[in-house]
């Protein structure tokens, strides 16, 4: 964490230093660019004035030649207008005598209108073109014309309007933010551009430096001027003029300020981005630690859960939907099916069922949102034998799809116990036939079925004749053998659809569904004869024989329950007893 904070601080400091360097470099570049613009403007103005001087020299040469050749003054005066047209930048051309008096003007203007108010100062003793200290509204160039004896014959004077010079300055300026001033030797303004520019108030020290012709660019704070100005002042060669150029910092630093703004904005964004990166890195590290801790806890919890699942006494099977391939089976389920866990993974869930129809019903119910709990069904062991199981099925959704979750418990032993208990509850333990309660329940249902189907039915009651004597003479064990023999004969002689039960002691009962009177009589007689033919061989070599008395009745349309039928059958049985036993009596 400390290393991360230190790294973030170092990155921030590095960005600040880089920003400071970029700002300083961009400021220097802007200063150098403005200075180059000033120097370029000075050079262009100097070249233009030098070009004007050459054009003046060429334009005045014909006049000079005419005067030196002795051409009369009035003839030369007539040539002034023609020569003036060859000097498009000049506004007027005048001819002066050796004392500076105006002899002729090209456009007919008076000396006052031309601005020639210097008097004898206009006359020149040097036969070369020179520039005079300017008037407030124009530039004046003069050239003396001398004969071979170096006597001044006349002087030619050319006037250039200040507006023309201002246009030259405006054409030279690279933009409205640059101000150009043409000053005379006494630093008085002759022309300036743009038109709204005003000559700044120059300090005395600066004036002295300009007068000493120190050509340089100065970055100074002018008196009574806001901001910083960039000034360049140069003497224009041999001309008696000074070119002053000024760029206000509000102009030449405007782009620099914009650059600085974007630098600051970008650096601020980058610094914020660095801080955010550091923060999110710290957060990710923290989240990573938390995730690792949670993953460790989750792994431990998963291990405990897996151990619990593997050791639980409930079988668990997971199957992928929709193809039902088994994806997991715990140890208990594998033992229940007699399969290794790895081998079970190659099977499908429906292969675990003994009846696939049961699986279809269970899986459809679970996939439709109706989970099944503790449903008893038959499953298939590895060897193909069925066994009873209690099954719970549901469907769970996960990111990788749906899964069928099946929990199961082997209830084969329980089912056997239930069958045993049911058998004990419904079966007579000695004879193996239905006991009285179970017979009454089953026969009542069968009676209702026969009445509903409009089928005939008969009821047969029988017992062993002289059963007490058998017990008294041979013992109760032989009596039990007689009861068992009686039950065995009844089962062998009656049909599978007939209901047979022992209702007490030596008494037996049979409900014969779908049986008319003739069939009932035939069955009763067969049963009586079989009983009479039965011989029980004892261990001591003795043989025991016994007969049976039977009572027969038919179901009537008005019989509401089994009791009325049993009453008639019992009456028929007693008739057989009173009439000598070993016979069948009927009460219809």
Complete DSSP assignment for 246-285: EEEHHHHTHHHHHHHHHHHHHHHHHHHHHHHHHHHHHHHH
CA–CA separation, 14 and 8 (whole Å): 10
Q: How far apart are CA 491 and CA 509, in angstroms?
A: 12
- Residue 272, CB half-sphere, CA atoms under 13 Å: how many? 6
Which residues are CB-contacts of 420 (< 8 A; sequence separation ≥ 6)?
Answer: none
Transcribe 352-390 into DSSP letters: GBSSHHHHHHHHHHHHTT--EEEEEEEEE-TTS-EEEEE
**Of 236, 248, 226, residue with least CA distance to 191:** 236
Q: 522: exposed, middle or buried (C-beta count within 10 Å: 0-12, 13-18, 19+)?
A: exposed
Which token pair is 358? 């049961």
State how far the Cα of 565 lies from the Cα of 556, in Å rounded to an integer: 8
Q: Is 506 a catalytic residue?
A: yes
Tokens at 387, concatenated? 């066994």
Q: Given 295, 506, 507, 539, which residue is catalytic?
A: 506
Q: Shortest CA distance to 27 belongs to which of 271, 230, 265, 267? A: 230
Active site residues: 506
């Amino acid at each position: 964490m400390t290393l991360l904070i230190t790294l973030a601080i170092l990155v921030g400091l590095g960005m600040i230093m880089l920003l400071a360097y970029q700002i300083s470099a961009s400021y220097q570049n802007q200063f150098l660019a403005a200075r180059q613009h000033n120097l370029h403007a000075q050079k262009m103005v100097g070249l233009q004035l030098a070009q004007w001087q050459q054009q003046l020299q060429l334009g005045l040469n014909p006049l000079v030649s005419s005067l030196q050749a002795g051409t009369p003054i009035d003839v030369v005066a007539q040539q002034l207008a023609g020569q003036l047209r060859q000097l498009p930048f000049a506004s007027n051309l005048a001819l002066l005598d050796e004392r500076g008096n105006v002899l002729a003007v090209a456009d007919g203007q008076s000396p006052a209108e031309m601005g020639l108010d210097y008097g004898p100062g206009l006359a020149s003793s040097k036969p070369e073109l020179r520039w005079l200290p300017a008037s407030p509204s124009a530039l004046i160039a003069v050239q003396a014309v001398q004969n071979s004896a170096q006597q001044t014959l006349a002087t030619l004077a050319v006037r250039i309007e200040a507006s023309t010079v201002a246009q030259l300055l405006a054409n030279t300026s690279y933009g409205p933010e640059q101000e150009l001033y043409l000053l005379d030797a006494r630093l008085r303004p002759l022309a300036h551009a743009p038109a709204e520019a005003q000559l700044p108030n120059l300090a005395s020290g600066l004036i002295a430096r300009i007068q000493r012709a120190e050509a340089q660019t100065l970055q100074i704070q002018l008196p009574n001027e806001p901001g910083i100005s960039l000034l360049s002042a140069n003497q224009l060669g041999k001309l008696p003029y000074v070119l002053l150029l000024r760029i206000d910092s509000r102009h030449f630093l405007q782009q620099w300020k914009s650059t600085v703004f974007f630098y600051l904005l970008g650096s601020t964004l980058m610094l914020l981005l660095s801080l955010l990166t550091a923060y999110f890195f710290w957060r990710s590290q923290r989240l990573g630690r938390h995730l690792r801790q949670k993953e460790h806890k989750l792994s431990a919890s998963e291990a405990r859960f897996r151990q619990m699942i593997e050791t639980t006494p409930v079988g668990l099977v997971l199957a992928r939907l929709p193809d039902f391939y088994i994806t997991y089976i715990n140890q208990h389920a594998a033992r229940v099916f007699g399969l290794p866990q790895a081998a079970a993974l190659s099977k499908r869930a429906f292969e675990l069922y003994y009846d696939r129809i049961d699986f279809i019903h269970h899986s459809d119910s679970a996939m439709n949102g109706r989970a099944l709990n503790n449903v008893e069904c038959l499953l298939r062991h590895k060897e193909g034998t069925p066994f009873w199981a209690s099954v719970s099925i549901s469907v769970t959704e996960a990111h990788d799809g749906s899964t069928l979750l099946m929990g199961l418990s082997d209830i084969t032993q329980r089912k056997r116990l239930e069958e045993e208990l049911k058998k004990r509850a419904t079966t007579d333990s000695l004879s193996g036939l239905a006991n009285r309660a179970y017979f009454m329940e089953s026969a009542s249902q069968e009676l209702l079925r026969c009445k509903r189907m409009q089928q005939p039915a008969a009821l047969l009651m029988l017992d062993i004749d002289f059963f007490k004597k058998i017990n008294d003479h041979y013992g109760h064990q032989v009596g039990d053998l007689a009861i068992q023999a009686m039950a065995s004969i009844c089962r062998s002689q009656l049909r599978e659809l007939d209901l047979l039960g022992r209702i007490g002691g030596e008494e037996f009962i049979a409900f014969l569904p779908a049986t008319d009177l003739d069939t009932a009589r035939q069955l009763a007689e067969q049963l009586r004869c079989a009983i009479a033919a039965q011989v029980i061989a004892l261990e001591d070599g003795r043989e025991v024989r016994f007969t049976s008395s039977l009572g027969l009745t038919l179901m009537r349309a008005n019989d509401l329950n089994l009791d009325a039928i049993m009453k008639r059958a019992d009456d028929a049985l007693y008739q057989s007893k009173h009439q000598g036993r070993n016979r069948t009596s009927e009460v219809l």
